Chains A and B, each alone.
Chain A
């Protein structure tokens, strides 16, 4: 649930070996065809098609396609249908040239990035978080590479997504993925993943600071 990193590797772990195998197989056939053809002294073959072989090959291609798609669609549905069970935190994401802002409406906390300090997204570990994000100007993209997840933010529509952060994502720098002009290269935020108790303490500290 919301474990996009796990979903990513569910597909990755199948797609990468398949891609490498296809690459090796095709290059092997090419190498074999070329080396045999370089050595050949007899007249070239005159065969110009082989309908049975071609037809069987198309069937194989269709089956490979179906298998890959089956995996992709299954994993995608799991991301999309992240169940609403469990207590979810809420974070509003506001992107504007060239800073991030994270608002925690339940706790009235605002994390605003500045030129000197990128915004810090503080989240409790393994807890589903409902994000509502928008941009105030051009398109930006919320990308947490460690979570293997990205979502574009627009100035005329609200994007919603749910993520849970594992310990692996702690301390990661998250760049704006969508090219947004002059400050694009420096527009980023930091992800801090805390234990649930630590998160509650952080909330209390931030609220007392605000008062």
Chain B
């Protein structure tokens, strides 16, 4: 890739790869911050950092992982694979997508540049609650750089969301009707719908926050800010979940040798999921006494229905399959198990009488990490092992992948399960220190050891990339020999216009499966 391509290349695959590489770098930075945070919590008292640094670290850790890692990765996977899955030579709005990348990358750098300022980076937590994030309580340019950085990054992902929505609406190959789009493509449609409706609200909230910091009295109080923030802040959780759910379901189908089960119910449930996701934000505000708790408990608990359908479809897809337990498949199964803990604990805190205790405690920290590690990172790694040969033309090592999976699964549970107990016992989130008298040290040590295991698993992943790159094992077009969707009908990596030859006929959401089935019928007939 020349420098000019890096700055200005508009091929959707190249833009997506730049987003993924940038997000990976941010993930390493955000992960390193988590290591420092967990080291500080090993024992009561302050040992590793100062309270000020700790507050900046957890603020930037959360902000990095949400705004700069998982959300951009979600959209980048869509940007890379949507045109391929729907048989298009390009994404809609390629130059806009390029703009989206640069807004995101520069936004990330802007946020991180807060560490170079005199007062350090922002310390108002990832939602930047008003009035804590106001000029009186958060003076200094670190907070301003945070607002500007998040604004740019979210504006970038908003642009990408529009590109993806328009790609699915405008760029489908002949025969690719809406109800023949692959499962992953449908999850990206749902994702981009949430992006285009919810993300502008955060941009408005950030603009108001910035104006407020300049002396304008525009916000209307802490409750108003929470409404605006969580109207973005809840849908974004599903933006960070749906694409990986889609990837996981495709992995399960491919490695079970089965067509995805329950397609029609799935499409209906993902759209129900999407609409509910836009109407549950108030469950973050049960303890304000300023929202209709009963209504938000209802919408939040109702998520059982679409989520239950997803699990049914996932298990039914494996049921009766002939399973190849590849690294991608293991991560996909890990996704189902770990996200289940996140989802069930979500129903838990969706009950106001429970949330009156659990809110702002480590129960919520455990819950959200089971959602974002279980429902995002396990899915990201399933997608990584599954699609890596398509993107690069060579496989990642399966043995190292399975070691990566083992460490990641152990680390996730060891880190976050103890936090449920700590929260139930009264440990508040976002504290740099806890009293020795509470007896929380043992569980915190377990949690920190788990975090180091997670760190080690990422090292294994990096080693895997290096080894697989130095001694490459080449992948064919249909790398796994069982691809069902159109991205496997082209070379690995795909040529600039995606498909060199004619596309297979599209008659269902699994066109390559149809083609194999037809071949089998011809053989039988012969």
Contacts and interface: CB of A to CB of B under 8 A. Distances in A.
B323 A34 contact: yes
Contacts of A137: 131, 136-137
Given A38-B325, A44-B256, A54-B262, A179 B429 contact: yes
B131 A12 contact: no
Interface in A139-187: 139, 141, 143, 145-146, 148-152, 154-157, 159-161, 172-173, 175-182, 184-185
A177 B297 contact: no
B321 A12 contact: no
B293 interface: yes
B354 A12 contact: yes
A46 B344 contact: no
B95 to A, nearest CB: 40
A182 B222 contact: no
B502 interface: no
Given A19-B344, A181-B55, A44 B320 contact: yes
B419 interface: no
Contacts of B361: 143, 145, 177
Interface stretch (A66-74, A102-110, A200-208): A66-74
Nearest to B306: A61
Contacts of A23: 340-341, 344
Contacts of B344: 19, 22-23
Contact of B287 (A73, A145, A152): A152
B322 A43 contact: yes
B340 A26 contact: yes
Contacts of B321: 33, 37, 40, 44-45
Nearest to B127: A179
A155 to B, nearest CB: 7
A3 to B, nearest CB: 11
A79 interface: yes
A159 B223 CA distance: 12
A114 interface: no
A37 B304 contact: no
Contact of A141 (B136, B264, B318, B360): B360
B510 to A, nearest CB: 9
A111 B305 CA distance: 49
A8 interface: yes
A139 B129 contact: yes
Contacts of A49: 261-265
Contacts of B316: 50
Nearest to B517: A46
Contacts of A143: 357, 360-361, 428
Contact of B322 (A27, A42, A61): A42
B166 to A, nearest CB: 30
Interface residues of B, number: 80
Interface in B292-308: 293-294, 297-298, 301-302, 304-305, 308
Interface in A87-138: 97, 137-138
Interface in A25-41: 26-27, 29-30, 33-34, 36-38, 40-41
B402 to A, nearest CB: 14
A10 B353 contact: yes
A54 B265 CA distance: 8
A48 B435 CA distance: 56
Contact of B312 (A57, A97, A172, A181): A57
A177 B359 CA distance: 8
A179 B297 contact: no
Interface residues of A, number: 76
Nearest to B138: A181
A47 interface: yes
A8 B356 contact: yes
B302 A157 contact: no
Contacts of A54: 262, 265, 309, 312
B319 A33 contact: yes
B390 interface: no
B503 interface: no
B430 interface: yes
A72 B260 contact: no
A82 interface: no
A1 interface: no
A185 B304 CA distance: 35
A69 B301 contact: yes
B333 interface: yes
B351 interface: yes
B482 to A, nearest CB: 10
B423 to A, nearest CB: 9
Given A7-B353, A152-B288, A185 B256 contact: no
A45 B257 CA distance: 9
A76 B289 contact: no
Contacts of A139: 129, 131-132, 222
Nearest to A42: B322
A157 B347 CA distance: 29
Nearest to A6: B353
B359 A150 contact: yes
Given A37-B323, A44-B257, A138-B131, A19 B347 contact: yes
B293 A76 contact: yes
B306 to A, nearest CB: 9
Given A33-B315, A184-B430, A4 B356 contact: yes
A6 B304 CA distance: 26
Interface in B330-355: 333, 336-337, 340-341, 344-345, 347-348, 350-354
A15 B357 CA distance: 14
B148 interface: no
A156 B323 contact: no
Nearest to A20: B344
B275 to A, nearest CB: 16
5 contacts: A4-B356, A12-B354, A15-B351, A30-B318, A139-B132
Rank and list the top 3 A-B pairs by shortest CB-CB distance, nearest first: A45-B320, A37-B323, A145-B426
